[in-house]
A and B are shown apart, each in its own frame.
Chain A
Amino acid sequence: MKVTVNITRRPEIADPQGTTVRRALVDLGHDAVREVRIDRTIHLEVEGHDSDTVHTQVSRMCEQLLSNPVLEDFEVVVHG
């Protein structure tokens, strides 16, 4: 099954990359941009037929390795 994992930086953690990109967008005339956050998406293909089981497995992977709970939240999306 195809699975997408979205790893997002917790709101209180600064994102200097996003801040720099926002500044560049404003320099290009896009003054409406208030904030830019740059996060990470991981695509996996996992053996299995039951989306709940796969969701649980991938969530465990996120807790163990794919995300750092000090900095990040994660969201697992299993594509049927």
Chain B
Amino acid sequence: MKVAVVVFPGTNCERDTVHVLRALGAEADLVWHRETDLSAFDGAVLPGGFAHGDYLRTGAIARFSPVMDEIVRMAAAGMPVVGICNGFQVLCEAGLLPGALIANRDLAFICKMVDVEVVDTGSVLTAAAMPGQRLRIPLNSYEGNYVLPDGSPRVVLRYVDDPNGSQDGAAAIANDRGNVVGIMPHPERASDALLGSSDGVVLMEGFIASMEVSHA
């Protein structure tokens, strides 16, 4: 079981992500965005940062990076694919998740711990969590305001006190199948009590366990 942690030019959370996945017992490797063969991997994480400088729109250019054909293939095959923060924006631009992320309601860059509630455990990211469980995870974004103008998203994590104006208070959403998830706060930064919270661990563990299930 091996996770591809995708690195675009401007990605900056890849090492934290790999560190946490390995600490939880998974194999994980960094994969450059020009890679065109991810057949050795069983799941993928698109970490946070500013892929391609966030030019034009967040994620707009990253979705055409060569590696994205493989991410689309893995998602279609039912493998777990999770986008964190900027990775969430990339998955929306790529059409793997519905909707889009726009500037926060109050136009402020939000960098703080937020509380989210687990509302759907049917996704790869929330599979190990309990319904109603509250998690404290850091949010670190400017374009974190989730919108889906003509529909209602499948929310898997909801902000207890919506900080950025997201529709339905969505902190994380999933596709219908539950194997593709976008999450705006950073579970990998809440993986050790030394960092102020280890609440992100249950999410990363769910992802790792789902990889084994999808492979079986």
Contacts and interface: CB of A to CB of B under 8 A. Distances in A.
A41 interface: no
Counting chain B CB atoms within 10 Å of each CB, the highest count among A12, A20, A71 belongs to: A71
Contacts of A17: 103, 107
Contacts of B106: 16
A70 B57 contact: no
Contacts of B148: 70
A14 B56 CA distance: 18
Contacts of A20: 107
Contacts of A12: 149
B103 A16 contact: yes
Interface in A6-54: 10, 12-14, 16-17, 20
A65 B102 contact: no
Nearest to A66: B56
Interface string B53-64: 000110011001
A12 B100 CA distance: 13
A71 B60 contact: no
Nearest to B103: A16
B103 A70 contact: no
A56 interface: no
A8 B149 CA distance: 15
B147 A13 contact: yes
A70 B99 contact: yes
A70 B146 CA distance: 11
Interface string A57-80: 000000001101011000000000
Contact of A16 (B56, B93, B107, B149): B107
B104 interface: yes
Contacts of A10: 149
B contact patch SS: loop
A51 B60 CA distance: 27
B163 to A, nearest CB: 14
B167 to A, nearest CB: 11
A14 B104 CA distance: 10
Interface in B53-93: 56-57, 60-61, 64, 92-93
B34 interface: no
Contacts of B99: 70
A16 B64 contact: no
Nearest to B149: A12
B177 interface: no
A65 B63 CA distance: 9
List the 6 closest A-B pairs by CB distance, nearest first.
Answer: A70-B100, A16-B107, A71-B100, A16-B103, A12-B149, A20-B107
17 contacts: A10-B149, A12-B149, A13-B102, A13-B149, A14-B165, A16-B103, A16-B104, A16-B107, A65-B61, A65-B64, A66-B56, A68-B57, A70-B92, A70-B149, A71-B100, A71-B102, A71-B147
